[in-house]
Amino acid sequence: MRMVDLIEKKKLAGVHDAAELRFIIEGYTAGAIPDYQMAAWLMAVRFRSLNRQETVELTLAMAESGRQLDLSQIAGTKVDKHSTGGVADTTTLIVTPLVAAAGVKVAKMSGRGLGFTGGTIDKLESIPGFRSALTTDEFICQVQRIGLAITSQTPDIAPADGKIYALRDVTATVDSLPLIAASVMSKKIAAGADKILLDVKYGSGAFMKTLPEAEALARVMVDIGNGAGRETLAMLSSMEEPLGTGIGNSLEIAEAIEILSGSGDPRLCEFCIEMAAQMLRMAQPDLSQPAATETIRQLLTSGAALAKFREFIEAQGGDGSVVTDPGLLGTAANCLEILSNQAGFVCSMQSAELGRGSILLGAGREKKGDPIDLHAGIKLHVRCGDAVASGQRLATLYYGKGVDPRQAKTLVLDSIQLSEQPQPCPALIAGIIAKEQSGAT
C-alpha cells in the first residue's frame, strides 16, 4: 500500500476501506507518511469528502492511535457530553453534577480554552487547590466513588487528532465536515463513555455560523458515534448571544454555583435542565421526558446537585467552601462598569465580539500555551429583549494590573445593539438529532 495511490484514489472520488484509512492514520502518527503527502490527502478529502462508513472508520482509527480508557470496571451506564464551543458556556459545570446527583456515572475529559471559546479545565483551575490532571486509576476510582470526574485531556488520547489538526490549520482544510466530526468524536470515543450527548452550537459565537451548517455537523457526529457502538444524541443550540452572563473562568464558576444554588440566569438554568434531562434519559431510557425533567428540577431545588458539585471539587483537591462562599474564588485587581449611552431594547449581542473582549482583558488565549488571568472577564447585566434606560449598566469588565480596558470596552459597546422597539429573540434550542434522523455524510 502506498500513500500516493491513496491520494490519487481520493482525488478521483474513490472510497477508502478500513485498512486504507488505518494505514494512513497509523503511518502519519508514526512519522512514516510525511506532512506533504498527508496535506495532499486532506485537501482531496476537503473537495471529495468521505461517506458515512469512511468517516466512522477514520474516527475509529484516530481513536485507536493512542491510549483508550476502559471504563468497563465502573458499574452502570457511563455518560459524557461535549460542546462544540461558545461564549459563556458554563454547562459542564452545572449539568455534570446534576446528572451525577441523579445517580448516573459521568466520566469526562475536557480541554483548555482557545480563542473566544472557554475551556472547562481553565474554569475549574480557578477554584483554589483544584487538581485537573488525574491518573487513569484516580479517574476511574472517583467515578466509581462519587459518580463524577473531570480530567484534562492528555497527549496520548487520540494523538493522531492533534497532529492532523495542526496540519489542517495551516493547509486550509479545517472546514471539512467529516474531518471536524472525526476530530471531535475520536477523542470522545477514546475517553470510554457508553453514551454521548453533543451540544452543537451555531451563530455569531460558534464555529458553525448557521443552523443548517450545525445540523449537518450534528448528523455526521451522531452517525459516527452510533456507528462506533456509542449511543449519541445531539442538541442544536443558538450562540447568537452568550449562553450565560459570565464570560471568564472564575466568573463562570461563580455563575455555575449561583445556578446550582437555585437562582441565577433563567435562560442558562433552563438550558442546563434540558441538557441534564436528556443525559438522564440516555442512561435510563424508560424515563419519560417530563419525568426526567422533574427529577432534575428536584435535584436542583433540593440542593443535591450543589452538594454533588462540592463533593466533586473536594475529591479533586479543591476548596469546596467556594460553593457557599464564591468570594473565595478571588477577583480581578480592577473593574470597569460600562453604561448605556441610549435607551431602547437589547436586540442583538454579538457573542464572538464579547468573547474577543474577554481575551483582551486576559481571560482567554490566542494560541496554545498562552498564560491567562483566571479572574479576568466580562459580567453581563442585560440580555436580548431587555429594556434598557440611558445610563443603565450593561456590563462590568474585570482585568488585572497593566491591562488597558479601552479596546474591550469599545467591543462590548459595539456588541450590545439596541432598537427602539422590542425584537423577537431566537429560540435557544433549535432541535435534537437522534440516530434515526441522521443520514449519510
Q: How far apart are the first and last CA of the chain?
A: 26
Catalytic residue among 89, 122, 161, 373: 161
C-alpha 368/C-alpha 347 separation (Å) is 34
Catalytic annotation present for 187? yes
Catalytic residue among 168, 195, 267, 379: 168
Catalytic annotation present for 383? no
Catalytic residue among 16, 46, 78, 82: 82
Catalytic residue among 46, 105, 123, 187: 187
**Cα 302 from chain centroid (whole Å):** 27
CA dist 115 → 86, 118, 194, 208, 437 (Å): 10, 8, 30, 15, 32
Catalytic annotation present for 183? yes
Catalytic annotation present for 168? yes
Owner of C-alpha cell 490566542: 366
C-alpha cell belonging to residue 298: 428536584
Catalytic residues: 82, 161, 168, 183, 187
